[in-house]
Chain A
């Protein structure tokens, strides 16, 4: 589907060459959206990898009710991205939200807070997205954890290594590959995210949560700047492709190195 023809100016197809791309790059709104996108993605990736690793390590242990926990952990992934945003919007509400309710009941706050504020909104949206995405990462890491033979752990224990040492020197090298895959997946999904932004904050307050995907949406359906939206779309796709290429190179290099 060639988007070249869509250098549109309001109902008429005029060919304006690269003007849309130049406009897009110079537009402060577009440029402003980039750091927000990066911030969002970084938060999502960090949270997903850390939480996912914690979950995977936990699920790797043998204990009663492990299979029940497995099913429970998978539930947030079964909830759609859009439902996730609705659910978290209910939780974070400043008039009836359960987060406020919980903190108030614990005596930690006196008044209900506005969580989706200009400074904090993007982190909460990232939290909601991470809540939805983490199970997938956790299961990848779990699968990889389960391929580590028990004997290595036992040998390390015999040699006197404590739990942290064991994790750092024994577990981590074996799962490096899986961690990288989860990083790639998380980054890609975070860059593509749209539903969370639309339902949770509508890009706001103001433009506080306007990331690249939402910016494209606004360009197209709010300002009817179809050409500009198409140009920004291409830029976004290019960024994702570059990221994918970078990760791909990193992956194959690592593989050959081992």
Chain B
């Protein structure tokens, strides 16, 4: 019926671009220029991926340099995204708990400030960021990006978590307090197990946000040894790199985030089931 046809069109629209990039990444460079296009490569190869992981022999040193760059970019992205995810989740959990449970002075003002950080175009903040970091000579180090990302991400994560913490039942926590737990102990033994899926989801989100980030990575790490994956790939565009190699790099850069966001989706639906009385059953 029409529904299935439209569903097919929608699915094709969503997936085809990624599929094409994948096809490119398993082709040889000369084959992608064939006319008419080879939708399925006649000579599929893992050469591009092998090069990136250092498992293949390089014909020219220029291209091998680019493969090494991509590898280094992958490593750098990982080295930055992981600490950011851990630290940001930690801070956001504490903050989310505080904002979700208690009221205090300046609460609303702070919340609004958090929200407005998301509204600003990153371009507008990049100027002073670069200035400050170059003054304290942290440009081109891991710390600069880690600090930047944690500072940028924690507000968003706190917003998400405070709503989540507010919905956790307070009776259990009160019972624990009555039984003699200190506030911190109650937090650790009672709240955290209940909040675990939300915190995990937020951690995944933090990882994805820093993995995908482009502008700050470009400015603060572009051209240095800590260059993360996005600036590396965009730099390759201007260096006339092999497109097959680049598409392999792009595929590698989207696999973690797509996989993680699918897992994230499961956590979200799990959370929703708790209060999904009004949502129609699937």
Is B121 touching A78 in the complex (CB atoms < 8 A)?
Answer: no
Which of A71, A72, A87 touches B17 (beta carbons < 8 Å)? A87
Cα A55 to Cα B7 with chains together (Å) = 8
Is B124 on the interface with A (CB-CB < 8 A)? yes
A-B pairs with beta carbons under 8 A, tally: 172
Which of B3, B13, B253 touches A63 (beta carbons < 8 Å)? B3
Q: A58-B6, A105-B36 are in contact. Are A78 and B262 (CB under 8 A)?
A: yes
| Surface stretch bound by B, among A151-159, A166-174, A193-201 | A193-201
Which of A67, A88, A195, A226 touches B282 (beta carbons < 8 Å)? A67
Residue from B17, B122, B211, B219 whose CB has the most chain A CB atoms within 10 Å: B17
| CB of B189 to closest CB in A, whole Å | 35
Is A91 touching B11 in the complex (CB atoms < 8 A)?
Answer: no
Cα A234 to Cα B20 with chains together (Å) = 40
| CB of A121 to closest CB in B, whole Å | 15
| Surface stretch bound by A, among B51-59, B100-108, B140-148, B230-238 | B230-238
Q: A63-B3, A86-B250, A237-B120 are in contact. Are A78 and B127 (CB under 8 A)?
A: no
Q: A3-B128, A86-B250, A199-B234 are in contact. Are A146 and B279 (CB under 8 A)?
A: yes
Q: A194-B121, A213-B121 are in contact. Are A74 and B7 (CB under 8 A)?
A: no
Is A16 on the interface with B (CB-CB < 8 A)? no
Residues of B within 8 A of A78 (CB): 208, 254, 257-258, 260-262
Is A241 touching B250 in the complex (CB atoms < 8 A)?
Answer: no
Residues of B within 8 A of A230 (CB): 127
Residues of A within 8 A of B125 (CB): 1
Is B214 touching A195 in the complex (CB atoms < 8 A)?
Answer: yes
Is A65 on the interface with B (CB-CB < 8 A)? yes
Is B123 on the interface with A (CB-CB < 8 A)? yes
| CB of B105 to closest CB in A, whole Å | 24
Interface residue range, chain A:
35 or more
Residues of B within 8 A of A229 (CB): 127
Cα A54 to Cα B9 with chains together (Å) = 11
Is B24 touching A73 in the complex (CB atoms < 8 A)?
Answer: no
Cα A213 to Cα B15 with chains together (Å) = 29
Residue of A nearest to B132 (CB): A1
Is B20 touching A79 in the complex (CB atoms < 8 A)?
Answer: no
Is A192 on the interface with B (CB-CB < 8 A)? yes
Cα A78 to Cα B256 with chains together (Å) = 10
Is B212 touching A83 in the complex (CB atoms < 8 A)?
Answer: yes
Is A98 touching B37 in the complex (CB atoms < 8 A)?
Answer: yes
Q: A3-B128, A63-B7 are in contact. Are A216 and B37 (CB under 8 A)?
A: no
Which of A72, A80, A191 touches B212 (beta carbons < 8 Å)? A80
Cα A47 to Cα B254 with chains together (Å) = 24
Residues of B within 8 A of A95 (CB): 33
Cα A241 to Cα B122 with chains together (Å) = 14
Q: Which are the 5 A-B pairs with shortest beta-carbon distances?
A: A101-B37, A80-B212, A233-B124, A78-B261, A192-B121
Interface residues, chain B, CB within 8 Å of chain A?
3-4, 6-7, 10-11, 13-15, 17-18, 20-21, 24, 32-33, 35-37, 39, 119-128, 131, 208, 211-212, 214-215, 218-219, 230, 233-234, 237, 243, 246-247, 250, 253-254, 257-258, 260-262, 265, 278-280, 282
Interface residues, chain A, CB within 8 Å of chain B?
1, 3, 6, 54-55, 58, 61, 63, 65-67, 69, 71-83, 86-91, 93, 95-96, 98, 100-102, 104-105, 112, 131, 135, 143, 146-147, 188, 191-192, 194-195, 198-199, 213, 216-217, 220-221, 226, 229-230, 233-234, 236-237, 240-241, 244
